[in-house]
Amino acid sequence: MPGPTPDVDDDTPSDDSDDGVRIDMISGARMDGLTGMEKIRLILDGVRDGNIVILEEGLSPDEESKLIEVTMTEISPDDFTGIEIETYPKAEAGDQSFLDKLMGRESTQKLTVIGPANQIETLHKDENLISTLVSRK
């Protein structure tokens, strides 16, 4: 069972949306200790507050699938229209051992940017660069 959803930082003032856009950069170490649903909750809670969430190590394909599914259930008219998500394209190199594949261990280390669909627009993306335009609410 997933535990309570952790806040990114309880000490940070949250009502600062008039002044700018908050960016949460979440380390791989921080995400390692969370269950799949806790990760998704952490991301969506931040994005629904209008924040941009940057994950150092991204999500596994299964977690990405669940992120899309949960995002869909939370979309509501005039409130939340979904997410924009960008990662570097996956390296095609065989970076996963046979044992990793057999055991379902996936290599997920890819920086990922997630934001509210109505505030973030991808301008350019390639293997080495993600360029996004972020607007205030």
Which residues in this chain contact other proteins in the complex, by CB under 8 A? 60-62, 64-66, 68-73, 75, 77, 81-87, 89-90, 92, 102-106, 117-118, 122, 125
Smallest separation, CB 129 to other proteins (Å)? 13
Smallest separation, CB 114 to other proteins (Å)? 9
* Pair 6, 38: CB distance under 8 Å: yes
Position 16: which residue type?
D
41 Cβ partners below 8 Å, 6+ apart?
A: 2, 5
Q: Which CB sits closer to other proteins, 103 or 123?
A: 103
Q: Which CB sits closer to other proteins, 30 or 125?
A: 125
Smallest separation, CB 80 to other proteins (Å)? 9
Smallest separation, CB 124 to other proteins (Å)? 11
Phi, psi of 93 (to 5 degrees): -60, 150
Q: Is 134 exposed, middle or buried (0-12, 13-18, 19+ CB in 10 A)?
A: middle
Q: Which CB sits closer to other proteins, 23 or 75?
A: 75
Q: Supply the Cα-derived Rg of the chain in whole angstroms.
A: 16
